[in-house]
Amino acid sequence: DIGFDAYAYLASAWILDILVWSFPFSYGVFLNYYTTVLFAPNDPQINLLPIVGTLSSGIIYIASLIVLPLILQYPGQKRRISFVGLLLCVLGLVGAGFSTRPAHLVVTQGIIYSIGGNLLYFPVLTYLMEWFSVKRGLANGILFTGAGLGGVVVPFVTEVLLRRYGHKITFFIFAAIFGGLSLPAFAYAKPRLPVAQASTTAAVDKSFLKSQVFWVFFIANIIQAFANFLPGIYLPSFATELKLSTTSGTLGLALMNATSVPGLVVIGGMSDKLDLRVPISVSTIGSALTILLVWGFTAELLPLLFFACLYGFFSSGYVPASRLISSCVSLFQVSVFRWEVFTSTNRITGRGLGNVLSGPLSTGLMRHSPFDESVKYGYGVKGYGSLILFAGLCMLASAAAITYPYFIGKAIEMDVRISTVSRFSRNGSRERS
What's the 3-state SS for the chain?
Answer: CCCHHHHHHHHHHHHHHHHHHHHHHCHHHHHHHHHHHHCCCCCCCHHHHHHHHHHHHHHHHHCHHHHHHHHHHCHHHHHHHHHHHHHHHHHHHHHHHHCCCHHHHHHHHHHHHHHHHHHHHHHHHCCHHHHCCCCHHHHHHHHCHHHHHHHHHHHHHHHHHHHHHHHHHHHHHHHHHHHHHHHHHHHHCCCCCCCCCCCCCCCCCCHHHHCHHHHHHHHHHHHHHHHHCHHHHHHHHHHHHCCCCHHHHHHHHHHHHHCHHHHHHHHHHHCCCCCCHHHHHHHHHHHHHHHHHHHHHCCCHHHHHHHHHHHHHHHHCHHHHHHHHHHCCCCCCCCHHHHHHHHHHHHHHHHHHHHHHHHHHHHHHHHCCCCCCCCCCHHHCCCHHHHHHHHHHHHHHHHHHHCCHHHCCCCCCCCCCHHHHHHHHHHCCCCCC
What is residue 402's predicted lDDT score, i.e. its pLDDT? 76
Check whether 328 has a pLDDT greater than 70: no
What is residue 205's predicted lDDT score, i.e. its pLDDT? 54
- 3-7, 117-121, 164-168, 224-228: lowest mean pLDDT where? 3-7
Q: Over the stretch 153-190, which tens digit does the pLDDT of each residue have? A: 999 999 999 999 999 999 999 999 999 999 999 888 88
Which residues contact residue 61 at a Cβ distance below 8 angstroms, ignoring those fewer than 6 apart?
A: 118, 348, 349, 351, 352, 355
What is residue 377's predicted lDDT score, i.e. its pLDDT? 75
Rank 136-150, 189-203, 217-231 by mean pLDDT and report only the highest.
217-231
What is residue 105's predicted lDDT score, i.e. its pLDDT? 97
| Main-chain phi, psi angles of 427, to 5 degrees | -120, 5
Check whether 263 has a pLDDT greater than 80: yes
Q: Over the stretch 190-222, which tens digit does the pLDDT of each residue have? A: 887 776 554 545 555 566 666 676 777 778 888
CATH of range 1-201; options 1.10.10.10, 3.40.50.2000, 1.20.1250.20, 3.50.30.40: 1.20.1250.20
Q: Is it true that 1-201 and 205-433 share their CATH fold?
A: yes
pTM confidence score: 0.81
What is residue 427's predicted lDDT score, i.e. its pLDDT? 40
pLDDT band per the 50, 70, 90 thresholds, residue 425 = very low
- What are the domain boundaries of the chain? 1-201, 205-433
Mean pLDDT of 87-95: 97
Measuring CA to CA, which residue among 244, 275, 224, 160 is closest to residue 396?
224
What is residue 206's predicted lDDT score, i.e. its pLDDT? 61
Q: Regarding the domain delimited by 205-433, which CATH topology (the fold level of the hierarchy) does it fall under?
A: Growth Hormone; Chain: A; (1.20.1250)
What is residue 355's predicted lDDT score, i.e. its pLDDT? 84
Q: What mean pLDDT value characterizes the chain?
A: 81
220, 402 Cβ separation under 8 angstroms = yes
What is residue 381's predicted lDDT score, i.e. its pLDDT? 84
What is residue 203's predicted lDDT score, i.e. its pLDDT? 53
Q: Is pLDDT larger for residue 66 or for residue 348?
A: 66
pLDDT band per the 50, 70, 90 thresholds, residue 19 = very high
What is residue 193's predicted lDDT score, i.e. its pLDDT? 72
Mean pLDDT of 52-66: 88
